[in-house]
Every structure is written in C-alpha cells, then in structure tokens.
Amino acid sequence: MDRREKMASRRAGRNGRREMIEVREHTLENGLSVVVAPDRTTPAVGVNLWYGVGSRNEPPGRTGFAHLFEHMMFQGSAHVPRNGHFRHIERVGGSANATTWFDRTNYYETVPSHHLDLALWLESDRMGWMLPAMTAEKLENQRRVVMNERRERYDNQPYGDWDERVQSLLFPASHPYHHTVIGSMDDIAAATLDDVHDFFATYYLPNNAVITICGDCDPARALDRVGRYFGDIPSGPAPPPLPGTARLDFATGGTVRRDVRAAVPLPRVYMASLVPPFTTEKFYPGEVAAHCLGTGRSSRLYDRVVRRRTAKSATCRLLPLTTGATLFLAVATGFADTDVDDLEAALAGELDAAGDLGEDEVARAVIGAETRSLRALQRLEWRADLLSMYATHFGDARRLNRDLRRLRRVTAEEARGWSREYLHSGNRVVVRYSPEAPS
C-alpha cells in the first residue's frame, strides 16, 4: 500500500479502542489530501476544502490578500457564473460559505447526500479553472466590498480594532501574526490583478489543500468522485516559506499597556499572553486552564469578577494557532461607572492566581470542554472542518479522535504549572478602552 494512503476502514484506533469518528485518508497523485468520514445517520453530506494559506502568508505590503481572495473565489470560475456557486447550492437545499483565518482559508458546503457531485464539481472548478474568470472589474468590486467590511467591523465598530491593537503589541513586526486577517486599507487598495493571479498560482493548488467529505456517503465512491473532479488539476511548487520569523520567546518583558479613548459604550479590558501553539503538547493544559478561568458560570472569572459586580461580563479563551506561538486572551467589560484600573486589576488578579487551580475545578472544566466539543461535532460542517484542520496541521485527521480524549489526561498540577509559566505580568499586553468624555 502506498505510504501516503492511510485507509482506516475500521473504527478501531491504534490501541484497539473503538473510535468515535470513522476516518479514511488518501492522497491523490497531484498532492490533494482527501479525508472521508462516513456517517449514515442523516441524509446529508458536508464538504470542506482547506487551503494552507491565511494572513500569516502575507508579506508586508500585501496584508489582507487571503481574505480578499476568499471574496474573489465566489465571483465565478470558468464554468460557473458570478455568484453561481451560491445559487447552485441553495437550489438543491444546501448551504455554503467560506472563512479566512491566520493559518488557513476554508470553503465549505452542506448538501443533501445525493448532491455530493455538485459540491465537488463546484470546488474543483474554482481550484482548477478560476484564473480565466478573473477580471479587473471583479477585483475592483470585491476590493470595495472588503474595504467596506473593514470600515463596518473594525474602524466604525465599538471595540472593533481590539485585535489589531493586541496583535501589534503581542507579536513583533517580523512575526506572521503581527497584522490582522482583514489587512490594511492601503494594502487592499493597492492590490492589482497581477497580484491576485500570482496569489492564486502560489497557494490555491491541490498539493496545498485538504478536502474532507463528512456524512452520508460510501467512502469508496466518495474517493472515486474526488479523483474524477480533482485528479486532473496539476500540482504546483511547494508554497514559499512564511515571511519573517516565527520564533518567539514566551514573554513580553513586562506588562505592555495601551489606553484607548473611543466611542464605546462601556469600559473594556483586553489582556493577552504568548503561549505555546496548538501543535504542541503544552496546548492541552492551557486549554484546560482557559476553561477553568473563563468558560461558563462556574468559571473563576464569572464567579469572582462578574458575580461580585466588578464587571458586567468576563471570559477568556485560547486560540488554536500554529506558528511559533498562540495567544491566550481574557476580556472583561465593566459597567458605566467602572474604573478601568479596577477592571484591569480584577482581571489580572485572577490570571495571576491561576497557579492554584483546584482538582475539582480542573475536573469540571475537562467535562465541560468535552461536552462542548461533542455537541459541536454533531454538526456536519463543524466535524468536517475539524478533520480538515487536523489533516492540515498534523497530517493525520484521525488524531481528532485521540485529542477528544487527550484533555482527560491533563492533571490539575499541569494546569497550575502552565498558568504559572505563562499567565504572569512579564508576559502580558493590555488594551484598555474607555468611553470618550461627553462633548
């Protein structure tokens, strides 16, 4: 058997344990990775296509390209008219969308299972025959759309630029995560049709993609259909190295603080730290610590900050980023009369004290995290997306089954040690929003 082909037709894992999600993996000759996860319980199928390109691949002066290209991919291809992708999918009762993030861009559809061929044909036409349909008029149209999106979501939205501020403080200018996914207005405005052609030819290749089919399908037939629609698309060179350097120390050298007076309704504090990325073993105790601190009404932030009326809301999360580091983010929103210094002190106090997390807290957090994961996996589109994610980042989609159990092995001491190592004042940036004074 070809070493690239990892067929897992049985549900038994490596240790003989029955796996929750049946997964089959294969690689086409052109390098396209294929994941099939059959599930006959519902007569629907999810198709998820991950391209290994996100904002981290954008060099200075070209920020926002991955997101702009997401929009361009719905402007038609050689055999599909502009916006025809949506029309074809909605006509059969399905849904489709796409998202861009730091590490990837994904395109996905959920359709009745007997329309699997339609979804595969549409995605293959975009991958293999997109360039002939690109025009300067389409680029200008989508450039305006993206620039308006930036105005609405970032520039004119209360707290809308928080991530731009946090990222620029937490990650140095040389790091691929220094800039936001949306990019800068100047870079979006400067994009040319040649730039878009080059971007597509560099990253939108079968050897830089994973396609996952999840749901009501016969695995052998699904693999055959992928080969039919995608097999003739030629592979290309490996994507270029990431710009800049991904290497980081998990420290900011002290608490870096920025105060922002803006048109916001309430004071709010964003607090972030550099922590080990999703692809490392140290991510797991961090995820447990984040759940202990900021997920649900039994969390420390809710119990000690919200219930005591220091803040109207408080939460935290750990982003699953992969390049050198990821960020731990805590957010607290005060009341109209809350002093931003008190809000920051309350939030920082709980992060500083996370080194004493209790056994019961950790056990409760693990159960909660597992429950939320299982609930999310009931949705075909989310399950397909996670399988694409694991195939991309680990080269092993089946690892999702093992990671669902991995959190159970995190001990309270691991979570405490992780918190002491990363959630201290010497590894912290703080962005504090205060309402503008009335004119």
* pLDDT over 90, % of the chain: 90
Phi then psi for 308, rounded to 5 degrees? -85, 5
The beta strand positions in 276-426, using DSSP E, are: 313-318, 326-333
User: What is the per-residue pLDDT for 438?
Assistant: 67
Torsion of CA 377, 301, 351, 265, to 10 degrees: 100
Q: How far is CA 183 from the centre of its chain?
A: 16
User: What is the per-residue pLDDT for 405?
Assistant: 84
pLDDT band at 206 (very low <50, low <70, confident <90, very high): very high
pLDDT at 53 over 90: yes
pTM of the model: 0.92
Rounded to a whole number of angstroms, the CA Rg of the chain reads 23
The CA distances from residue 93 to 29, 74, 116, 380, in Å, are 33, 18, 12, 15
User: What is the per-residue pLDDT for 240?
Assistant: 96
Which residues neighbour 173 within 8 Å (Cβ) at sequence distance 6 or greater? 244
Residues making up the chain, counted from first to last: 439
Amino acid in position 26: H
The 326-333 sheet, strands edge to edge: 254-262, 427-435, 268-275, 326-333, 313-318
Identify which has the larger pLDDT, 27 or 296: 27
pLDDT at 5 over 90: no
User: What is the per-residue pLDDT for 12?
Assistant: 43
Tokens of 27: 């690689």
Helix, strand or coil, per DSSP, at residue 50: strand
Are the C-beta atoms of residues 81 and 129 closer than 8 Å to each other? no
pLDDT tens-place string over residues 324-369: 999 999 999 999 999 999 999 999 999 999 999 999 999 999 998 8
What b-and-e string marks burial along 222-239, b requiring 16 or more CB atoms within 10 Å of the CB?
Answer: bbebbbebbeebeebeee
Which residues neighbour 43 within 8 Å (Cβ) at sequence distance 6 or greater? 112, 113, 114, 216
User: What is the per-residue pLDDT for 277?
Assistant: 97
pLDDT at 1 over 70: no
pLDDT tens-place string over residues 294-312: 998 999 999 999 999 999 9
SS3 of 218-262: CHHHHHHHHHHHHCCCCCCCCCCCCCCCCCCCCCCCEEEEEEEEE
Across 141-155, average pLDDT = 94
Are the C-beta atoms of residues 225 and 120 closer than 8 Å to each other? yes
Neighbours of 251 (CB within 10 A): 13
Rounded mean pLDDT of the chain? 93
Q: Give me the residue label for tokens 């610590």.
A: 289
Give the Cα separation of 300 and 307 in Å (integer): 10
The 33-38 sheet, strands edge to edge: 24-27, 33-38, 209-215, 44-51, 105-112, 95-100
User: What is the per-residue pLDDT for 406?
Assistant: 87
Tokens of 314: 């408080």
pLDDT at 315 over 50: yes
Neighbours of 82 (CB within 10 A): 14
Nearest to 300 by CA among 319, 283, 316: 316
Q: What are residue 269's DSSP bridge partners?
A: 332, 432
Give the Cα separation of 103 and 189 in Å (integer): 23
Identify which has the larger pLDDT, 83 or 11: 83
Which residues neighbour 367 within 8 Å (Cβ) at sequence distance 6 or greater? none
Are the C-beta atoms of residues 353 and 347 closer than 8 Å to each other? no
Amino acid in position 262: A
Tokens of 301: 């932030």
